[in-house]
Structure 1
Amino acid sequence: MKNRHLYPENWEEISLQVREESGWTCEHCGKPCRRPGQSWPEFCNWLLADVSEPWFEQLSDEVFDDEGGEWGFVDRPQRFALTVAHLNHNPADCSRENLKALCAPCHLRYDAGRHAKVRVENWAKRKREARERAGQLRLFEDNF
């Protein structure tokens, strides 16, 4: 996990509790997700046999193999991973009202705006540092 030092020592326990409380279901879209230790084939069989929603369409993607010249399917187990999101984006705040069990795609969508902002900030920082190494001084702290 990136930036693990920002999370409490018992994060794994907290995360597991939130996911168990959700019934291993995304609290945003309702997608059923894999439980720890559940193999991909077991999960697929359970999903196809026991779930009425058409989640099975997300199990794999049809792709073209450029080298072999044939169509095939690629499994997408990451779409069924249940994660825990910090709604205020502060990993130190593990109050239950700040945590939500989200499937990986919903978690990525939830964090997309923040990720874009951080990407721009990092780009600006790299550009500023490159100019400083070349001898350009800054007039203001927030100067790009």
Structure 2
Amino acid sequence: MSTSRYPQNWKEIATSIKESFDWRCTRCNRVCLRPGQKPPELTLSQRRVYTLQVHHFNFDPSDNRLENLAPLCSGCHLYYHRFRRGNISPGQLSLFK
């Protein structure tokens, strides 16, 4: 029995969210790397900056309603978790599509 609060299909959900926003952070608008992209001019630590992650606005990884999810670059995602806040609300997400 798994103790993860993420669903088994989390990878598919996250990829779908990232694709729907064209691999762009909804907070800073940074275009991030797609799976398998490894530009030779970027170091590993630089590539991490361009990694897109999916954030849960209510900080509950078991709540995967679309209005609770947003793609964020690693820096913006860290900001949300560090301060438990951000400057984009779920209602504003439609502005970025």
TM-score bracket, normalised by the shorter chain, equals 0.7 to 0.9
Gaps spanning 5+ residues in structure 2: where?
85-97
* TM-score for both structures, normalised by structure 1: 0.53
Per-residue deviation, 1:38: 0.9
* TM-score for both structures, normalised by structure 2: 0.77
Structure 1 counterpart of 2:12: 13
**Closer/same/farther in 2, CA of residues 101 and 78 from structure 1, 3 Å limit:** same
Instruction: List structure 1 segments (4+ residues) > 2 angstroms apart after TM superposition.
Output: none
Residue 59 of structure 2 is aligned to residue 89 of structure 1: yes
Max Rg structure: 1
Higher helix share: 1
CA distance in structure 1 between the partners assigned to 2:45 and 2:71 by the alignment:
23
CA distance in structure 1 between the partners assigned to 2:24 and 2:78 by the alignment:
16
Per-residue deviation, 1:40: 2.5
**Closer/same/farther in 2, CA of residues 37 and 113 from structure 1, 3 Å limit:** same
CA distance in structure 1 between the partners assigned to 2:36 and 2:3 by the alignment:
23
Matches for 1:114-125 after TM superposition, within 5 Å = 114=84
Gaps spanning 5+ residues in structure 1: where?
45-58, 61-73, 115-144
Per-residue deviation, 1:35: 0.3
Larger relative contact order (C-alpha < 8 A, sep ≥ 6)? 2
Identity of aligned residues (%): 40
Report the RMSD for the aligned CA atoms in angstroms. Answer: 2.1
- Structure 1 counterpart of 2:16, one-letter code: Q
